[in-house]
A and B are shown apart, each in its own frame.
Chain A
Amino acid sequence: MQCSDTRPLLDLLADGMLEPKDCALVLDHLDSCLDCHREWNELENLRNRFRDAKEKTSMSDDLLDKISDSLGKEQHKQTFQHYLKLAPTMAAAFLLVSVLVFAWQHEYVAPSSVHSASAEILVDGLASNSDLEPVKDKSLLSQKLGYDIKYLQLAAWQMESCGIYKSATQKPIARFDFVRSDGSRAQRMSCYQAPEGTIRAGAGQSKLIGDKRVLLGSRGPLRFALWSQNGRDYLFVTALAQNVLEEIVRKA
């Protein structure tokens, strides 16, 4: 083996990249050639210096802390940027929810809260009559109300007066005041009528009377019965006993 063949292979020998057969050839040549041996020693010397340099070079103790700190800052930055990217989506979602809530309040909540009447308020309103507009001619009632009156059969009861219960927040409600004679004294009852879904009661006892599902309740000395029939809400209010009221409702 010639020196010119050996020299390029010394690096490969040092790096352990030579085949065993080539290794043996190069090592044989090194044993017999002083120049190549000197070259090999220089190479080994260089490698030793690198090995020494490697051992002596180490990072400072606080470098890992510095790296961790800067990664922490970067993490916060990325978190902030992440939420910043989400901001338009969140704003759009908030806007959508706001619009839906607004629409719901105006389309679905409003009919119940603005156009419906509380049975309790109607019962209380009997005493004052302040919101009642008397109507002398019963035939004009439907025209003034804007919807047809559907009369019920109330045997023995005489209609004393009728009128329209009005308030700014609800549909007009028809009111009829009845009277009947019970021997020594007169019995009175008032009946409200409005399109179905107009009158609601906050509390009461639900009871099936005949074929009617009736909500029964009381306000002070007065008792009331509320039910729906023929597309109308009926609210009967009287100071009579509950069993009497139930019997009236059953026959109505």
Chain B
Amino acid sequence: MNIFGNRKKHFEKLTTPLANDLFRLAMWRLGNRQDAEDVVQEAYLRAYRSFHTFQPGTNLKGWLTKILLNVVNDTLKKRLRQPDMQSIQDDSEDIELMQSSSDSLKDPQIQLTDKEIDLELLDALRRLPSSLLNPLLLRELEEMTYDEIAATLEIPVGTVMSRLFRARRLVRERLKVSNITPVKKEVADDAVQ
């Protein structure tokens, strides 16, 4: 086997155990299994191409997660450029706003099943800007420590704490609203007015 074969084997040995974690993160960022699989594949390719830059002994999961989140970001940018989305300006604010919303979610053929996903939770999450969503998912799904989240997202630990607090508060508020039945919601809206 040549050096390239050994390199691939070594790379797969190290990264394969993390594939499910990466897939889970991608799926909750994009809300769609097919998109998530595409993103994970692309992230693996990018990681393989730049594997020489990875320093052994450092946080491999953090390194791969950072690559995955970049691919997710690129995927969302690509969606912005699609013809039916031309009215949306391609800047970071738009990406923040649209982040996990996916047109494919509307398609029942490829939509995730209720058994597989908590749609209310997904709906609450997809309204979060990615600056709040990423720390929340890394904490809740990937069980990263504050320090690991800070290193992966390249933000201070204090920022991680504040963003987690805000993200959880927003998600809880949205889950509360979604739990109100239409009649109750009407009453609630009237009460607000």
* Chains A and B bind each other: yes
Task: Convert A81-105 into 0s and 1s, putting 1 for each residue whose CB lies closer than 8 angstroms to a CB of B.
Answer: 0100000000000000000000000
User: Is A70 in contact with chain B by the CB < 8 A criterion?
Assistant: yes
CB under 8 Å from chain A, chain B span 147-186: 161, 164-165, 168, 171-172, 175-176
**Which B36-89 residues have C-beta < 8 A from chain A?**
37, 40-41, 44-45, 48-49
Closest to B136 in A: A50
State which of A40-48, A133-141, A232-240 sits at the interface with chain B: A40-48
A185 at the interface (CB under 8 A from B): no
Kindly identify, within residues 1 to 20 of chain B, every residue whose CB is under 8 Å from any CB belonging to chain A.
2, 4-5, 7-8, 11-12, 16, 19-20
- Whether the pair B116, A57 counts as a contact (CB closer than 8 A) is yes
Decide if the interface of chain A is mainly helix, strand, loop or mixed: helix
Nearest B residue to A63, CB-CB:
B37
B153 CB, min distance to chain A CBs, angstroms? 16
Interface string of A47-88 (1 = CB under 8 A from B): 101111110111110011011101110110011001000000
Q: Establish whether residues A56 and B165, one from each chain, have CB atoms under 8 Å apart when the complex forms.
A: no
Interface of B is mostly: helix
Is A221 an interface position by the 8 A CB rule? no
Whether A46 contacts B5 by the Cβ 8 Å rule is: no
A15 at the interface (CB under 8 A from B): yes
Q: Give Cα A42–Cα B170 distance, bound, in whole angstroms.
A: 12
Most buried by B among A17, A66, A75: A75
**How many angstroms from the CA of A46 to the CA of B8 in the assembled complex?**
40
Q: Provide the residues of chain A in CB contact with B116, threshold 8 Å.
A: 56-57
Contact of A71 among B40, B44, B115, B140 (CB under 8 A): B44
Q: Which residues of A contact B127 (CB under 8 A)?
A: none
| A70-B44, A71-B12, A71-B48 as given contacts; A53 in contact with B23, CB under 8 Å | no
Q: Is the pair A75, B141 in contact by a Cβ cutoff of 8 Å?
A: no
A47 pairs with B140, CB closer than 8 A: yes
B182–chain A nearest beta-carbon distance, Å? 22
Shortest beta-carbon distance from B111 to chain A in Å:
14
Once bound together, how far apart are the Cα atoms of A46 and B176, in whole Å? 11
- A15-B139 in contact given A49-B118, A70-B45 (Cβ < 8 Å): yes
Contacts A43-B172, A59-B40: A64 and B49 contacting too (C-beta < 8 A)? no
Contacts A46-B171, A64-B16, A68-B12; is A56 near B115 (CB within 8 Å)? yes
Which residue from chain B places its CB closest to the CB of A43 in the assembled complex? B168
Please report B residues at the A interface, Cβ cutoff 8 Å: 2, 4-5, 7-8, 11-12, 16, 19-20, 23-24, 27-28, 33, 37, 40-41, 44-45, 48-49, 115-118, 121, 139-141, 146, 161, 164-165, 168, 171-172, 175-176
User: Measuring CB to CB, which residues of chain A are less than 8 angstroms from any residue of chain B?
Assistant: 8, 11-12, 15, 17, 42-43, 46-47, 49-54, 56-60, 63-64, 66-68, 70-72, 74-75, 78-79, 82
A-B contact pairs, 15 of them (CB 8 A): A15-B139, A46-B171, A47-B140, A50-B141, A54-B24, A54-B140, A57-B116, A57-B117, A58-B23, A59-B20, A67-B16, A68-B12, A75-B7, A79-B2, A79-B4
